[in-house]
Amino acid sequence: TAPTAELQALDAAHHMHPFTHGAGLADKGVRIMTRGEGVWLTDSEGNRILDAMAGLWCVNVGYGRQELVEAAAAQMSELPFYNTFFQTSHVPAIRLAERLAQLAPDPLNHVFYASSGSEANDTNLRLVRTYWEMKGQPQRKAIISRWNAYHGSSVGSGSLGGMKGMHAQGGMPIPDIHHIDQPNWWSEGGDMTPEEFGVARARQLEQKIEELGPDTVAAFIAEPVQGAGGVIVPPETYWPEIQRIVDKYGILLIADEVICGFGRTGNWFGSQTMGLRPDVMTVAKGLSSGYQPIGGSIVSDEIASVLGGDEFNHGYTYSGHPVACAVALENLRILDEEGIVTRVREETGPYLKERFESLVEHPMVGEAKIVGLMGSIALTPDKAARAAFAADAGTVGLICRERCFANDLIMRHVGDRMIVSPPLVITKDEIDTLIERAWRSLDEAMAEVEA
């Protein structure tokens, strides 16, 4: 391969990166990853980096799994592509649908395939509205989401999301999408207890439904634990109250499991960990551990039968791509047979929790929140006041992320929250290394902030 500097120059000349927002990549030079093994990445300079983000929250079984390579190669030779439109199917799409139906909580047992989480949420938008049209209630178009949510980057899924600077960019959002606030007690809870705040935030859903008119609302969409919005673990009172409200008004609940699914929270799905009963689940990322692009919407018999026949005019060339399905199926086998989901729940999750929560002893860390193997810390100049680094929110997070990067640790920052979501195969020793590098990076960031 070419030397790093040459690759960096080519990258700057020709490659537009997602979400760079003018981050000065050309000056800084991108870091070029060349290999992966377990939780470790190697870059073009030979550095070994602990990837505490599992790529983009997706490499659940870790890097370098040869079984997945072989599953892809075998399917490539057998049948590299065929579509699932009209009256054709193939073995990987069928077997994966069967497996997802087994794993998904009742009554979800049908899957509509896509190639990504964004595509799957676009499917959901059309799917829930079409469902209500076919039930004779076409006025139910409104979909309620949450500010700061991330549901993808296409026009539809980006409109569903609620991130500043993105949700309303480039002609978005599409009509009939509404938002309520996220249950972020640390930043927004004021004088309420977390329990009171959880109920108050959930009741915003009821207020929004009443304001819009209950018979105009199609669905509420949310992640069991909001990921890209900052790993916001809701107070325990939040989801029971949300569930009560969606049940009361008979609106569909879409659980976006793109991050929470496939073991991340210590169960197969975050809905199980957080105790919600979705009508639709969005899946992607960990479904194939990122080895192939695949996503999907998992729905009940009831929804599938209402959409049955040939009236739901929707689909992608790569819906149920055979290679992606074969890899996903093998990935699910590994997660299951190696007991990885159970290990997150009973071993590595509790261990990471104990170690990660010790970060609150750092002078710059306010709270540490974690479920399974996804967690975040809030950076603060004043713990008692739960204060933010006000005027320049995100700057300290960015400094911290860059310090981590320099210390060969990949963590992500969202504003002034720092996030971990490592591969689910991380060992206790690797967790110790993660915490040690995070602590060192926090020290360095604090020195820089104070300088």
Residue ranges binding ligand PLP (CB under 6 A): 56, 116-118, 121, 150-152, 223, 227-228, 256, 258-259, 284, 295
Residue 382 structure tokens: 């004043």
User: Residue 95 burial by CB count (10 A; 0-12/13-18/19+): exposed, middle or buried?
Assistant: middle
DSSP string across 362-381: STTEEEEEEETTEEEEEE-S
CB of 239 to ligand PLP, least distance (A): 16
Written as one letter, the residue type at 424 is: L
DSSP state of 348: I
CB-wise, 36 or 286, nearer to ligand PLP?
286
What is the C-alpha to C-alpha distance for residues 258 and 200, in angstroms, rounded to an integer?
26
CB-wise, 57 or 132, nearer to ligand PLP?
57
CB of 114 to ligand PLP, least distance (A): 9
| Cα four-point dihedral sign 112, 114, 120, 124 | negative
CB-wise, 118 or 273, nearer to ligand PLP?
118
Written as one letter, the residue type at 107 is: P
Give the chain's end-to-end CA distance (angstroms, integer): 40
Q: How far is CA 445 from the centre of its chain?
A: 27
CB-wise, 75 or 282, nearer to ligand PLP?
282
CB of 58 to ligand PLP, least distance (A): 8
Hey, is 345 helix, strand or coil? helix
Q: Which residue is nearest to ligand PLP (CB)?
A: 117
Residue recorded with tokens 């960096």: 8
Is residue 364 within 8 A of residue 399, CB to CB? The reply is no
CB of 189 to ligand PLP, least distance (A): 23
CB of 107 to ligand PLP, least distance (A): 22
Does the bond joining 322 to the residue before it have cis omega, within 30 degrees of 0? no
CB-wise, 36 or 296, nearer to ligand PLP?
296
Give phi and psi for 369, each to the nearest 5. -125, 135
CB-wise, 256 or 430, nearer to ligand PLP?
256
CB-wise, 216 or 272, nearer to ligand PLP?
272
CB of 337 to ligand PLP, least distance (A): 26
CB of 134 to ligand PLP, least distance (A): 26
Residue count (the chain): 451
Q: What share of the chain is helix, strand, coil (3-state, %, to 5)?
A: 45, 15, 40
Residue 210 structure tokens: 């009443």
CB-wise, 142 or 258, nearer to ligand PLP?
258
Query: How far is CA 16 from each of CA 8, 9, 10, 298, 303, rounded to the nearest angstrom?
Result: 12, 13, 11, 33, 39
What is the C-alpha to C-alpha distance for residues 90 and 102, in angstroms, rounded to an integer?
19
Query: How far is CA 324 from each of CA 152, 225, 333, 334, rounded to the nearest angstrom?
Result: 19, 26, 14, 15
CB of 160 to ligand PLP, least distance (A): 9
CB-wise, 44 or 148, nearer to ligand PLP?
148
CB-wise, 325 or 359, nearer to ligand PLP?
325
CB of 117 to ligand PLP, least distance (A): 2
Q: How far is CA 85 from the centre of its chain?
A: 28
CB of 276 to ligand PLP, least distance (A): 15
